[in-house]
């Protein structure tokens, strides 16, 4: 009986040999490379079937041939052992600690150990390099053109795959080469969709939608992978289509452009230095540039450095309705995180000046957390009301309950409620909240 894995390895080598003839022309565009791999795979499979028949052996069944063809094509023109996971819409995250310790998180919150994604750790490193090369020289304008070395001198890698997934990889500084992939989910979801999935209740969804229309400045906070970007993206669906949005990110994730919902979007991405250590464009530079592009709102994918001061300035200088995400463990901690970034920036603001700037710029902080049952939920909403010395003063209008989900706690101030009602928050929703 033919060992399918051995056959895949043997035929893959033949296809790779034929592909080597094109190496002199430099890296091929992704579409052209896949077309050639599929062509040569069909040829070597035909030759294998002919050899089986002439040698008196049973050729591969149609199903087995399809599996072998898929394995070869995925390896040489796709994501190898990752491809099946990337093709599964129910897969949310993939974490591999070496080639064979693979953990897959699904959209329903379950985590299972998956099959190996490569035959060896060396092959895993080759796979990651192949993915980096495809992004560098591929057809995806959201990743093409940057140098993406992955070796002992460049042991970490962060890139955006063509389907929008984020891949982070390590080698040499970890015991085994490792990778983590975060899949974009619910790209077209709005707040009602998130409410239907249990991330927040419908009255709070109505409040956040009104807050967006009322042009309140919002910070979306939470820990890693709690759904900050998903919630921010969904909330942005409430922004009127005629507004011009400028997004600034370290890595493209927001994807706010939509021909109907958001047709006027300029997406900017920070650039790391190249292999010679030059060419870096930090987020703070992009934020200053963005303000010259006539934005109605400025959106920062993740505020975590010098750009915080420019963001807060934008929020107080006519770009109302701007928003950003921040890593923090509580809604209260969001203020100290922003303050820390501000005092560490080259401007060296004092804690008192930072608290004043934050209190003047930010209207709401919306915090996300994991519930005990493994769901991403909105756990807190704070309304900023002022500052006192080094402290930003706020009211927690939604407060974490026993299950981390946030029930209403304290009413908004009358002026904030008036802005929300003017933006479409109905008395019926206010009555349901219980204020």
Q: What is the DSSP string of 190-215?
A: -HHHHHHTTSS-HHHHHHHHHHHHTT
Question: 308 falls in which pLDDT band (50, 70, 90)?
Answer: very high
Give 187-246 pLDDT, tens digit per residue. 889 999 999 999 999 999 999 999 999 999 999 999 988 999 999 999 999 999 999 999
Helix (H, G, I), strand (E, B) or coil at 258: strand
**What pLDDT score was predicted for residue 140?**
46
**What pLDDT score was predicted for residue 126?**
86
Per-chain mean pLDDT for the chain: 90
Look at domain 191-433 and name its CATH class: alpha beta
Q: Is 257 exposed, middle or buried (0-12, 13-18, 19+ CB in 10 A)?
A: middle
Give 240-260 pLDDT, tens digit per residue. 999 999 999 988 889 999 999
Alpha-carbon distance of 323 to 232, in angstroms, equals 8
CATH topology for 80-185 is: Beta-Lactamase (3.30.450)
- Per the CB < 8 A criterion, the answer to whether 380 and 222 are in contact is no
Which helix (H) or strand (E) segment holds residue 299: the answer is: strand 297-300
Tokens of 363: 């209207």
Mean pLDDT throughout 260-268? 95
User: What does 327-363 look like in DSSP terms, one character per residue?
Assistant: E-SSHHHHHHHHHHHHHHSTT---HHHHHHHHHHH--
Alpha-carbon distance of 82 to 118, in angstroms, equals 8
Helix (H, G, I), strand (E, B) or coil at 104: strand
**What pLDDT score was predicted for residue 4?**
83
Alpha-carbon distance of 43 to 6, in angstroms, equals 18
**What pLDDT score was predicted for residue 291?**
92
Give 120-166 pLDDT, tens digit per residue. 999 899 889 878 876 654 444 454 445 568 889 889 998 888 788 88
**What pLDDT score was predicted for residue 139?**
44
What is the distance of C-alpha 279 from the center of its chain? 24
Topology match between the domains 80-185 and 191-433: no
Alpha-carbon distance of 109 to 145, in angstroms, equals 35
Alpha-carbon distance of 285 to 277, in angstroms, equals 17
Q: Is 313 exposed, middle or buried (0-12, 13-18, 19+ CB in 10 A)?
A: middle
Counts of helices then strands in the chain (DSSP H, E): 14, 14
Give 43-59 pLDDT, tens digit per residue. 999 999 999 999 888 88
Neighbours of 5 (CB within 10 A): 11
Which helix (H) or strand (E) segment holds residue 238: the answer is: none
- Per the CB < 8 A criterion, the answer to whether 298 and 232 are in contact is no
**What pLDDT score was predicted for residue 6?**
86
Spatial CB neighbours of 318, under 8 Å, sequence gap ≥ 6:
none
Alpha-carbon distance of 133 to 213, in angstroms, equals 42
**What pLDDT score was predicted for residue 353?**
96
Domain residue ranges of the chain, discontinuous segments joined by +: 1-77, 80-185, 191-433
């Amino acid at each position: 009986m033919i060992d399918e894995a051995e056959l895949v390895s043997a035929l893959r080598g033949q296809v790779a040999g034929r592909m080597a003839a094109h190496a002199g022309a430099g890296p091929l565009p992704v579409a052209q490379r896949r077309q050639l791999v599929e062509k040569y795979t069909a040829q070597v499979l035909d030759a294998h079937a002919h050899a089986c028949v002439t040698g008196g052996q049973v050729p591969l069944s149609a199903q087995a041939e399809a599996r072998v063809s898929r394995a070869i094509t995925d390896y040489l023109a796709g994501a190898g052992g990752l491809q099946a996971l990337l093709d599964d819409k129910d897969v949310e995250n993939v974490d591999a600690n070496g080639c064979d310790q693979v953990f897959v998180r699904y959209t329903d919150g379950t985590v299972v150990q998956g099959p190996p994604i490569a035959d060896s750790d060396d092959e895993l490193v080759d796979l990651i390099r192949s993915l980096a090369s495809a992004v560098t020289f591929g057809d995806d304008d959201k990743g093409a053109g940057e140098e993406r070395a992955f070796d002992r001198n460049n042991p970490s890698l962060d890139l955006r795959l063509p389907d929008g997934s984020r891949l982070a990889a390590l080698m040499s500084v970890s015991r085994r080469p490792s990778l983590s992939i975060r899949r974009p989910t619910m790209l077209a979801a709005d707040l009602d969709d998130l409410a239907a999935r249990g991330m927040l209740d419908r009255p709070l969804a109505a409040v956040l939608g009104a807050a967006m229309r009322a042009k309140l400045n919002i910070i979306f906070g939470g820990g890693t992978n709690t759904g900050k970007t998903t919630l921010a993206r969904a909330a942005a669906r409430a922004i009127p289509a005629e507004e011009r949005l400028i997004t600034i990110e370290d890595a493209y994730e927001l994807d706010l452009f939509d021909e109907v919902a958001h047709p006027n979007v300029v997406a900017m991405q920070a650039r790391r230095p190249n292999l010679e250590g030059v060419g870096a464009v930090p987020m703070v530079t992009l934020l200053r540039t963005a303000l010259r592009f006539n934005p109605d709102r400025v959106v920062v994918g993740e505020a975590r450095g010098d750009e915080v001061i420019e963001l807060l300035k934008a929020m107080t200088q006519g770009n109302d309705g701007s928003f950003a995400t921040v890593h923090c463990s509580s809604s209260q901690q969001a203020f100290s995180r922003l303050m820390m970034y501000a005092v560490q920036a080259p401007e060296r603001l004092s804690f008192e000046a930072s608290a004043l700037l934050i209190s003047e710029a930010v209207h709401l902080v919306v915090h996300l957390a994991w519930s005990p049952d493994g769901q991403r939920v909105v756990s807190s909403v704070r309304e900023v009301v002022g500052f006192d010395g080094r402290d930003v003063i706020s009211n927690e209008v939604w407060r974490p309950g026993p299950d981390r989900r946030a029930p209403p706690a304290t009413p908004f101030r009358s002026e904030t409620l008036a802005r929300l009602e003017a933006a479409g928050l109905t008395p019926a929703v206010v009555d349901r909240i219980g204020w």
